[in-house]
Amino acid sequence: MSFSLNQIPIFEELKESKSILLAGAGGGFDIFSGIPLYFNLKNQGKKVVLANFSFTLLFETSSEKVFPYCYKIRSGDSDLSGRNYFPEKYLKLWFGLQGENPDLYAFDRIGVNPLRDAYKYLIKKHEIDTVLLVDGGTDSLMFGDEDGLGTPQEDICSMAAVYRTGIKKQYLVSVGFGIDHFHGVSHFRFLENVAEIAKDGGYLGMFQITKEMVEAEKYIDAVKFANDKMSGMESIVSNSIVSALEGEYGNHHRTRRTKGSDLWINPLMTIYWCFNLRGVIKKIKYFDRIRNVNTIGQFNVELSKYRNELEALREKRNIPI
């Protein structure tokens, strides 16, 4: 497929999509990063179902278990664990305050096989024709031989699970350039990997949100709402992106959770980098080792085996500008 200058490739790819499953890939608040996409796609007349790989102890909530490891989230659900960590519930509650009532699901922190089955359940139930994964951060683009991988477990399990559903239209978007420096990721290697994916046609360009956009205003409002509800457990990623949207720069701390660390809030954090998921999976060097794991523990074992067999790692480097 070819594009013109006035076309954003990812949205051209989604033009014929009618029913989209928009899912947070990496756990926690990743689905919040999909809020601008939700409103834009819905305004295009598309049905959008939401899901999130969750860090919530879902079995200790009042949410309805609709499939093994998959729960339907309602605004009135309760966290019975006492942790007060339930971003999906507060997102559902926030949507209700906007007059929106999207179907929202959460997945337990599981491995590829059961997660694939849960995705297949939602794809069938909602007649999904497209899955769009959202990663808050850039570690989903680490191939496995880099010196710093960040926290790839949840991202790669989500990516592998969606890939293995076999659904024809499957994509990945990543937002938050610079955030994963906090987790040891080299953005020199991120850009190198994007270039490698682009060689094979898997890179679908980028788009950027600004605070003047209605979709960005919704994102900012949702993050602030969650901050109020989950004080002390705020999202580092989403609060960094919101800080960048609001024009902050450098070592700016929006939440106490980052105090004592050195942040680089910057305008590039508000860019969404877009990929054909199959093009990314082809580059994950340990994919064959983790494609059938059932738990995160098994994933970690297989990743460690792969890393231990490497003769050398691609060392961290600073961007030479």
Q: Where are the domains of the chain?
A: 9-232+269-309
The parts of the chain modelled with pLDDT lower than 50 are none
Q: What is the pLDDT of residues 213-228, one digit of tens each?
A: 999 999 999 999 999 9
CA atoms within 13 A on the CB side of 138: 28
Predicted local confidence at residue 192, as pLDDT? 97
31: burial class by Cβ within 10 Å (0-12, 13-18, 19+)? buried
- Cα–Cα distance, 321 to 2 (Å, whole number): 31
Predicted local confidence at residue 180, as pLDDT? 83
Predicted local confidence at residue 298, as pLDDT? 98
Predicted local confidence at residue 68, as pLDDT? 98
Q: Which CATH class is domain 9-232+269-309?
A: alpha beta
* Of residues 81, 66, 76, 32, the one with CA closest to residue 52: 32
Predicted local confidence at residue 264, as pLDDT? 85
Predicted local confidence at residue 172, as pLDDT? 98
| C-alpha torsion 68→121→14→168, nearest 10 | 110
Q: What is the pLDDT of residues 74-127, one digit of tens each?
A: 999 999 998 889 999 999 999 999 999 999 999 999 999 999 999 999 999 999
Predicted local confidence at residue 259, as pLDDT? 72
Predicted local confidence at residue 12, as pLDDT? 96
